[in-house]
Structure 1
Amino acid sequence: MTPNSVLELHDVTFRRNGTHILEGIDLTVRAGEHWALLGPNGAGKSTVLGFCGAVAFPTSGTVEVLGSLLGRVDLQELRRHIGHVNPRHPVRSPLTVTEVVLTGITGTLEPPMRWEPSEGDLRRARDLIHSVGLDDRREARWPTLSQGERGRALVARALISDPRLLLLDEPTTGLDVAAREQLLETIDGLAHSAPDLASVLVTHHLEELPETTTHALLIAHGRTVAAGSIDDVITTETVSRAFEHRIRVSKAEGRWSARAVRERPIPVPTAAEAAR
């Protein structure tokens, strides 16, 4: 692997039932970098994230995660070093916030039978719950939480195993504006509290990019449109090309936004004007 890299995809292709989903994808993520994975629906973003999380294998090409080549590594052990934030995390029991966060240690949906967290585990869970602003909700039951509170709790869950790579799969899905901003502030804080942590965040919307995003991979129809420093990748030209629609991209105070470029109607002259 490239020095200091935590994730490398080389010429990755993926086919399903004879259909090309990805073609020739390259991606290198280094420690401390925060990548955004962007593109329209059906572009292949979730498939790429599956490779990053060591839960899927390419049809061709290579994927190295945390120095291990997929296909030649104990996947269960590898996944313990990858944090994953998925707003659709299927908690079915009325677990407390603390219990959900602790399942990040065991990598399970429920606390395993006969497993007891150590005092160090409990202390680490309390510290993380504090860091995401949920001190007063530590013992609240999952069904009573708002979607925004669940999102922040899942960030704490993903971090409790001290991962080197954090994957965020559309983490602001279903959030109102206030909850979205609170979650993005939590994600931005990781650049300071965990400076060596690398992350990959999937989203459709530029407004959902944290200020600390450093790089971006923009894909469409399973192919790379642009990749590199976020200021070089997220431009009006590249985003318009990826989404196949004229979109004006702008950035203010570290945050991105996008609006469709409306075609100005061609003025139709009145009869009097036409007769002149």
Structure 2
Amino acid sequence: MTMILELEGVSRRRDDKMLLDGVDWQIQKGEHWVLYGLNGAGKTSLLSLINAYFFPTTGKVTVLGMEFGKTYLAEKLRSQIGFVSSSIQQKLPPQDNAYEVVLSGAYASLGLHQETTEEVDRKGVEILRELGCLEYANRNYHTLSQGEKQRVLIGRALMADPALLILDEPTAGLDFIAREELLESIAMIAKKPEGPTIIYVTHHIEEILPEFNKTLLLKEGKVFDSGDTDKLINSEQLSRFFNIPVTIVWTNGRPLLSKRVMS
């Protein structure tokens, strides 16, 4: 199988603080991973590393066949990674509509600053249709609901046919209905045989979809455990992870987490 990501003994230190400590992680094409950790676990540092915003202090990083330190790779690498984060929303031009935001993904730009081709236009319409965004394609992006904005950002990320799609807490700030609708769209993308490998970042266990077949548990900058989701996400393992007794119940292929009441 094709290796999408390989981290070997990766650490990252900033001043006297260890942000990442001895991280080993391999992702094969066709796998879809959950990156799970509480606030401050190091998830943001790990994503910044994968996107080549900084290099590791120690260790080896290879993403999409490109080894860090061998060549200047940031621009080339990021063109093959679709990255979705709510932080992008504030960086988009105030006048752009949803369709223009999606089209800008074809050029890896924040805003549409050039004439598009018919092929790009058609692809943008098709992606909007698949994600259920076509009805508000001409509305100003910044007037959309949070769920609609995130759906459009996913469309933008898909325009470049990325090999790797990173979804950084995409359901943050969504109500239950909007969250479930967005998760349905993500599941649709994950099911595509020729679709991108997905890294889904969250600190909400109930967002783990059946399509996410692998999970990495990150705690205090270290890999607590990683492997098959159905073997990793259980009451015993997560009680150790949280250091409190918890219960996991699987319903419709998704886990539900609760704190265990001790009698």
User: Is the CA contact (8 Å cut-off) linking 1:226 and 1:238 kept in structure 2?
Assistant: no
| Residue correspondence of structure 1 range 219-258 to structure 2 within 5 A | 219-258=218-257
What is the CA deviation profile of residues 172-215 of structure 1, one whole-angstrom value per residue up to 9, with x for unaligned ones?
00000011001100000012335452111110001112221010
Query: Corresponding residue for 2:106?
Result: 105
Stretch moving more, 237-246 or 209-218:
237-246
User: Is the CA contact (8 Å cut-off) linking 2:99 and 2:124 kept in structure 1?
Assistant: yes
User: Is the CA contact (8 Å cut-off) linking 1:39 and 1:243 kept in structure 2?
Assistant: no
How much does 1:110 deviate? Answer: 1.6
Structure 2: stretches of 5+ with no match in the other structure: none
1-structure distance, mates of 2:98, 2:56: 36
| Residue correspondence of structure 1 range 1-276 to structure 2 within 5 A | 3-71=1-69, 72-89=71-88, 90=90, 91-112=92-113, 115-264=114-263
Larger Rg over CA atoms: 1
1-structure distance, mates of 2:55, 2:245: 35
Instruction: Give the length in aligned residue pairs.
Output: 260
SS at match of 1:189: helix
2-structure distance, mates of 1:111, 1:196: 25
User: Is the CA contact (8 Å cut-off) linking 1:97 and 1:139 kept in structure 2?
Assistant: yes
User: Is the CA contact (8 Å cut-off) linking 1:8 and 1:27 kept in structure 2?
Assistant: yes
How much does 1:49 deviate? Answer: 1.4
2-structure distance, mates of 1:190, 1:246: 35
1-structure distance, mates of 2:234, 2:112: 45
How much does 1:88 deviate? Answer: 2.5
How much does 1:92 deviate? Answer: 4.1
1-structure distance, mates of 2:48, 2:198: 14
1-structure distance, mates of 2:205, 2:236: 14
Stretch moving more, 251-260 or 233-242:
233-242
Summarize the Cα distance change of 1:191–1:130 in structure 2 as closer, same or farther, 3 Å threshold: same
Identity of aligned residues (%): 37
Name the aligned partner's letter for residue 30 of structure 2: G
Summarize the Cα distance change of 1:186–1:196 in structure 2 as closer, same or farther, 3 Å threshold: closer
What is the CA deviation profile of residues 8-60 of structure 1, one whole-angstrom value per residue up to 9, with x for unaligned ones?
11111111112111111111111111100011111111111122222221111
Structure 1: stretches of 5+ with no match in the other structure: 265-276
Normalising by structure 1, we get a TM-score of 0.90
SS at match of 1:88: helix
User: Is the CA contact (8 Å cut-off) linking 1:83 and 1:166 kept in structure 2?
Assistant: yes
1-structure distance, mates of 2:104, 2:121: 11
Name the aligned partner's letter for residue 173 of structure 1: A
Name the aligned partner's letter for residue 201 of structure 2: V
2-structure distance, mates of 1:14, 1:242: 22
